[in-house]
Amino acid sequence: MPLTPPRAFKPDLDEAAKRWKAYLAGEIIDRPVVCVTAPRAGAKSVPGVNYRDRVFGKPEEIIGRMLEGTAATYYGGEAIPSFWMSFGPDEIAVFCGSEFKWSDDSGNTNWSVPFVEDWEKSLPLRFNAQHPLWQRMLALYRLGAEHGAGRWAMAPLDLHSNMDILAAVRGPQRLCMDLLDQPETIDRAMQSARAVFPIVWNALREAGRMDELSYCNGVYSPEGAAVLQCDFSCMILPAMFDRWVLPALEEEAALVKHAYYHWDGPGAQAHTKSLCSSRGLHTLSYVPGDGHGSHIGFLDLFKRVQSLGKAMHFWGTPDECKAAHRELRPEKVMYSAGVQTEKEADELLKWFVRNT
């Protein structure tokens, strides 16, 4: 049976889907896409599920707590209840041979241990489809699709693929030197890393039935959507990005249909022109980085990206969203905000209609 659209907690889903369709086509109906959430009136607070819970917890309890959290949330505008799973930012590297390390101080902190000492002895990278954590991931996605039918859409995990895999298995500092000292070897290493992506994506897509209904970081589409990224890009020159990362991102975007790019850190702004000329990346989500302020301080960057043809994801307070709306093109931006009541959420949506 096909997945049931998530109307249980999103009764206005059909209206939201129309705005998503317009947004992905570069069009607008009566206001920009606005994703605004609030605690549902009368609902009790539900603790979130962190990395440690997902790796070591009982699957049924994980799904149950996620459903409780979904039921306790009001999804206004184009916000869609969704199922998202991740064990940690370097999990794909772990599936390729790295070891997970955990912090005793945080259930939401972990990292992978680099294992590549000699590329010649380590290539090609091999994705272990029988890795216990990978099998657990697929099982959780199957449970998510089963128990969330009619309640949420499915969102794939953070896909730290392409050069992020190399940085995790080799170590960022050593990889930086390799880019200078042995670029032809990195050509081969990137070919190996790029071969991992379709394995991961196709298995997740099948387990979570994402061809039927998917929602990823604000991009909702029945055709498929995913977050792509390369956090390591903040450490490399534009010529290196164009040689190794951009072709991989475009290849990934072609597979996932609607690609949302997680654009992380001030150093990554060096690749603005390349990202804006890319094939397949639809929405860029800039992350200013700790100590660099919020989105409202980067409107010039947002306007530049829009002028170069890409859409942007803006998040902030309702007042910041309103201020940005006065300067940004409404068909090339999506807004996200959290408020305290359902009434505040609805009032924000009405404001956008009146002022578009």
pTM for the full predicted model: 0.93
- pLDDT tens for the chain, residues 1 to 356: 556 778 899 999 999 989 999 999 999 999 999 999 999 988 888 888 999 999 999 999 999 999 999 999 999 999 999 999 999 989 999 999 999 999 888 889 999 999 999 999 999 999 999 999 999 999 999 999 999 888 998 888 888 999 999 999 999 999 999 999 999 999 999 999 999 999 999 999 899 887 765 555 456 766 667 889 999 999 999 999 999 999 999 999 999 888 999 999 899 999 999 999 999 999 999 999 888 889 999 999 999 999 999 999 999 999 999 999 999 999 999 999 999 999 999 999 999 999 99
Asked whether residue 4 is assigned to any structural domain, the reply reads: no
Asked whether residue 313 is assigned to any structural domain, the reply reads: yes
* Residue 3: predicted pLDDT: 63
Asked whether residue 1 is assigned to any structural domain, the reply reads: no
Asked whether residue 2 is assigned to any structural domain, the reply reads: no
98: CATH: 3.20.20.210
- Burial environment of residue 261 by CB neighbours within 10 A (0 to 12, 13 to 18, 19 or more): buried
How many domains does the chain divide into? 1
Asked whether residue 338 is assigned to any structural domain, the reply reads: yes
Please tell me the distance from the alpha carbon of residue 274 to that of residue 252, in angstroms, as a whole number.
16
Domain that holds residue 64: 13-354
Residues 153 and 215 sit within 8 Å (Cβ to Cβ): yes
Asked whether residue 136 is assigned to any structural domain, the reply reads: yes
Asked whether residue 5 is assigned to any structural domain, the reply reads: no
Asked whether residue 346 is assigned to any structural domain, the reply reads: yes
